[in-house]
């Protein structure tokens, strides 16, 4: 897809969030639940008008940052070689924020009942991990997205090998976490699955780099 198409999708998602908020607004209480503790209990409220600002503003900010970062890239670390993947990641993050906003609206309409927000948000995070796993292997060396460790940034071979490995751990970890949530296991188990999926490539990058270093190839 063209660059403009990714941004158009992002703006459409922002418009959809604003439209859904407008439709739900008359039925929402004056203050709505916007924060939950680790057990899924509401522990923070905000005026309902802030729903028009917080998530849509965060979505727009993400898109703005993603549009500016490539300009700041030093040579040999540009995102041009994988721009479509870079923008796909942007769209996925924006979509996750929109999904979370939908959960917040639902919580407001049901007065915090009818849904476990923590499990719902973590489920969205698991799906994001799985979707990112599908494209991580296409991410090239840069300072903004991907597994950015001292060892991946120092060596292109380590970067590529680590991201091929991370593609598998992110995909499998995301699906495992989602499956654990769907069968009703404690959400901490799904969180552990994501942590393992995210940390394993970091350790892997160190192992690969040290192996090259011993060979004098780093």
Q: If pLDDT is split at 50, 70 and 90, which confidence band does 40 have? A: low
pLDDT score at 149: 97
pTM of structure:
0.91
Per-residue pLDDT tens for 108-149? 888 766 667 788 889 999 999 999 999 999 999 999 999 999
Q: What is the pLDDT averaged over residues 9-30? A: 95
Q: What is the DSSP letter of 25?
A: G
Cα distances (Å, whole numbers) of residue 119 to 11, 20, 133, 215: 27, 22, 21, 46
Q: Kindly report the average pLDDT of the chain as a whole number.
A: 91
- How deeply is 86 buried, as exposed, middle or buried, from its count of CB atoms within 10 A (0-12, 13-18, 19+)? buried
Q: Which residue in the block uniquely carries the two structure tokens 């995909």?
A: 171
Is the pLDDT reported for residue 93 higher than 70? yes
Beta-carbon contacts of residue 83 (< 8 Å; ≥ 6 apart) = 3, 70
Q: What is the pLDDT averaged over residues 61-65? A: 97
Q: Where do the structural domains in the chain lie, given as residue ranges?
A: 1-115, 118-218
pLDDT score at 31: 85
Is the pLDDT reported for residue 61 higher than 70? yes
pLDDT score at 189: 92
Whether 25 and 105 have beta carbons less than 8 Å apart is answered as no
Q: What is the pLDDT averaged over residues 96-100? A: 96
Beta-carbon contacts of residue 166 (< 8 Å; ≥ 6 apart) = 133, 136, 146, 147, 200, 201, 204
Most confident listed range (35-39, 47-51, 56-60, 74-78): 56-60
Q: What are phi and psi of 216, to 5 degrees?
A: 75, 20
pLDDT score at 114: 63
């Amino acid at each position: 897809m063209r660059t403009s198409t990714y941004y158009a999708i992002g703006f459409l998602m922002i418009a959809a969030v604003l439209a859904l908020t407008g439709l739900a607004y008359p039925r929402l209480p004056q203050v709505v639940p916007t924060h939950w503790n680790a057990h899924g209990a509401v522990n923070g409220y905000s005026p309902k008008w802030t729903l028009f600002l917080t998530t849509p503003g965060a979505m727009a900010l993400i898109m703005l940052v993603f549009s500016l970062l490539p300009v700041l890239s030093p040579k040999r670390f540009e995102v041009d070689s994988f721009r479509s993947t870079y923008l796909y990641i942007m769209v996925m993050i924006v979509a996750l924020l929109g999904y979370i906003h939908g959960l917040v609206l639902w919580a407001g309409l049901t007065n915090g009942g009818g849904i476990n927000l923590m499990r719902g948000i973590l489920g969205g995070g698991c799906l994001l991990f799985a979707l990112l796993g599908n494209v991580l292997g296409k991410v090239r060396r840069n300072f903004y997205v991907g597994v950015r460790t001292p060892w991946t940034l120092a060596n292109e071979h380590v970067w590529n090998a680590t991201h091929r490995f991370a593609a598998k751990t992110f995909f499998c970890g995301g699906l495992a976490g989602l499956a654990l949530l769907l069968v009703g296991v404690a959400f901490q188990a799904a969180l552990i699955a994501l942590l393992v999926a995210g940390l394993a490539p970091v350790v892997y990058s160190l192992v690969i780099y040290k192996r090259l270093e011993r060979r004098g190839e780093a």
